């Protein structure tokens, strides 16, 4: 069949659009209304990075949906579709469509404590979001998918191990089927602040108490020791041992070590051998 015959007989494709669906990084999923003519054996998708200038093309076969892959993230692509007959004659091209490939423009991690971490990232267009993470670049765990279409994203990772390096990458997909995946990055959770013992575990105000444990850091800096909520004078501070004096106004109750914004478990110290008082008392009216 001659080219001018198919040009006059085949209908122009009714519509070309971008649709959501399974996608890959640096991709655009394109669909179109097929030509209802028995001579159509397939379609050719022409595309490029300038309007009406299509530097690349791909024969899609006799389908009406195709995903362009290995595209440059953040770049706008323009595309048209033509129908083909058995002699590779092309129909009149469809109307041109354009779309920007999704891109992740920034990502960062903020370790919140020994067992949780916050991840934030930004995309160049509204998209969903999810984080892959694990103790190696194989990841193995994912955060819950946030299906909200946003440009500023965040996720909180829970159940992490103290003093452990984690690998992570973020994933987003927009409504049009374009997806983006960040490169591998890492963060390290701080060590758990843990009191293992007090020596002695009872005494009078002014008594020097050795607090043994881990995660105290190399120096006091932003650290603090409290006895029943009262700040204690510190005489020595090491990564696994702190020596503090029982405050003059302290009473029996919990000893807690705080390092930055991380708070340890509590261990009871008895002042003058007395038991700690009960907690908040309530009366049911």
pLDDT digit string, tens, across residues 201-226: 999 999 999 999 999 988 888 799 99
Q: What is the model's pLDDT at position 170?
A: 96
- Joined together, the tokens standing for residue 214 give 């881990």
Contact 251, 271 (CB under 8 A): yes
- Joined together, the tokens standing for residue 247 give 């405050």
Q: What is the model's pLDDT at position 25?
A: 58
- Euclidean distance between CA atoms 130 and 179, whole angstroms: 12
The single residue listed with the structure tokens 């038991």 is: 275
- Euclidean distance between CA atoms 170 and 186, whole angstroms: 12
- Joined together, the tokens standing for residue 8 give 């006059």
Q: What is the model's pLDDT at position 14?
A: 42
Q: How far is CA 112 from CA 131, 160, 247, in A?
A: 16, 11, 30
Q: How far is CA 9 from CA 36, 92, 155, 217, in A?
A: 11, 10, 54, 79
- Beta-bridge partners for 83: 43
The single residue listed with the structure tokens 């105000």 is: 205
- Euclidean distance between CA atoms 102 and 174, whole angstroms: 7
Q: Which of 113, 161, 110 is nearest to 131 (CA)?
A: 110
∠ CA 247-249-255, rounded to 5°: 55
Whole-prediction pTM: 0.67
The single residue listed with the structure tokens 């110290």 is: 269
Contact 174, 96 (CB under 8 A): no
Contact 224, 211 (CB under 8 A): no
Burial level of 41, CB count in 10 A (0-12/13-18/19+)? Answer: middle
* Three-class SS state of 36: coil
Q: Which of 47, 46, 20, 14 is nearest to 32 (CA)?
A: 14
Contact 123, 180 (CB under 8 A): yes
Largest CA distance in the chain: 106
Ranges of residues in the chain whose predicted pLDDT is under 70: 1-25, 275-277, 279, 285
Name the strands in the sheet holding 97-100, side by side, starting at the edge strand that comes first in the sequence.
Answer: 56-61, 42-48, 76-84, 97-100
């Amino acid at each position: 069949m001659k080219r001018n015959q198919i040009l006059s007989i085949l209908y122009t494709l009714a519509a070309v659009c971008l649709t959501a669906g399974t996608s890959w990084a640096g991709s655009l999923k394109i669909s179109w209304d097929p030509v209802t003519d028995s001579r159509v054996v397939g379609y050719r998708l022409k595309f490029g990075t300038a309007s009406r200038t299509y530097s690349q093309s791909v024969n899609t076969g006799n389908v009406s949906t195709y995903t362009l892959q290995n595209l440059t993230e953040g770049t706008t692509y323009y595309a048209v579709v033509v129908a083909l007959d058995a002699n590779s004659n092309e129909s009149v091209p469809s109307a041109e469509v354009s779309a920007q490939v999704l891109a992740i423009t920034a990502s960062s991690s903020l370790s919140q404590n020994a067992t949780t971490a916050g991840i934030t990232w930004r995309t160049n267009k509204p998209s969903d979001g999810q984080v892959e993470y694990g103790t190696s670049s194989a990841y193995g765990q994912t955060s819950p998918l946030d299906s909200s279409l946003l440009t500023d994203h965040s996720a909180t990772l829970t159940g992490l191990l103290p003093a452990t390096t984690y690998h992570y990458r973020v994933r987003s997909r927009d409504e049009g089927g374009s997806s983006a995946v960040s490169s591998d990055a890492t963060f390290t959770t701080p060590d758990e602040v843990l009191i293992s013992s007090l020596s002695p575990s009872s005494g009078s105000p002014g008594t020097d108490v050795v607090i043994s444990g881990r995660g105290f850091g190399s120096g006091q800096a932003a650290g603090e020791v409290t006895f029943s909520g009262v700040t204690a004078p510190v005489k020595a501070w090491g990564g696994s041992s702190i020596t503090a004096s029982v405050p003059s106004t302290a009473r029996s109750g919990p000893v807690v070590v705080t390092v930055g914004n991380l708070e340890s478990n509590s261990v009871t110290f008895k002042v003058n051998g007395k038991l700690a008082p009960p907690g908040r008392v309530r009366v049911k009216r």
